[in-house]
């Protein structure tokens, strides 16, 4: 378990270090990272890292349910994290970045549907039938992805308006 956390922290350190290199290059006139990259990075951290730590509920025996114990949930969280990370590095191709954001929103809605289905099929007569804070991760991710897509669309409209002036 400790190795997984070390891997996640090493990955985040390398990612942040490389992102800062791209964000603040040494030559003049280079583009600074945009706000949607930060939103997409937060989605990747939530889906890739935080989702493995926070429980999304308790089962009938009172055991904590984590994403790493359920292959479907873990795969969907990992897919969301990978899509968000790929979208961060596609800042030159805004249309593809926007489409990947929409696919990621759809994936998070499906994950939210899995959580709702699980919570509705959980027996109400058990001793412990609690829902965990991990169920909110897809909701937060959806909000961040919608805001990122709005910023991507705003950048695309700005570029189109500048091209019309030429």
Euclidean distance between CA atoms 48 and 76, whole angstroms: 10
Helix (H) or strand (E) segment spanning residue 65:
strand 64-65
Q: What is the predicted pLDDT for the residue at 20?
A: 53
Q: Using alpha carbons only, what angle is made at residue 20 by residues 155 and 87, rounded to the nearest 5 degrees?
A: 45
Instruction: State pLDDT tens for residues 110-124.
Output: 999 988 888 777 666
Per DSSP, 48 falls in state I
Pairing verdict, β 57-58 and 64-65: antiparallel
Q: What is the pLDDT of residues 116-148, one digit of tens each?
A: 888 777 666 555 556 778 888 899 999 999 999
User: Model-level pTM?
Assistant: 0.74
Distance CA 59, CA 114 (A): 15
What average pLDDT is seen over the chain?
Answer: 79
Residues 52, 73: Cα–Cα separation, whole Å: 10
């Amino acid at each position: 378990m400790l190795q997984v956390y070390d891997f996640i922290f090493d990955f985040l350190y390398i990612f942040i270090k490389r992102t800062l290199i791209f964000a603040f290059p040494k030559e003049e006139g280079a583009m600074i990272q945009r706000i949607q990259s930060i939103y997409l990075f937060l989605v990747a951290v939530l889906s890739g890292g935080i989702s493995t730590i926070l429980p999304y509920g308790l089962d009938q025996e009172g055991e904590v349910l984590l994403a790493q114990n359920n292959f479907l949930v873990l795969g969907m969280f990992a897919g969301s994290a990978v899509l968000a990370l790929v979208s961060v590095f596609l800042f030159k191709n805004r249309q593809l970045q926007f489409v990947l954001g929409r696919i990621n929103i759809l994936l998070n809605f499906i994950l939210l549907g899995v959580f709702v289905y699980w919570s509705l099929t959980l027996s109400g007569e058990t001793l412990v039938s609690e829902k965990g804070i991990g169920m909110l991760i897809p909701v937060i991710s959806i909000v961040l992805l919608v805001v990122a897509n709005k910023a991507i669309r705003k950048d695309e409209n700005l570029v189109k308006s500048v091209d019309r002036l030429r």
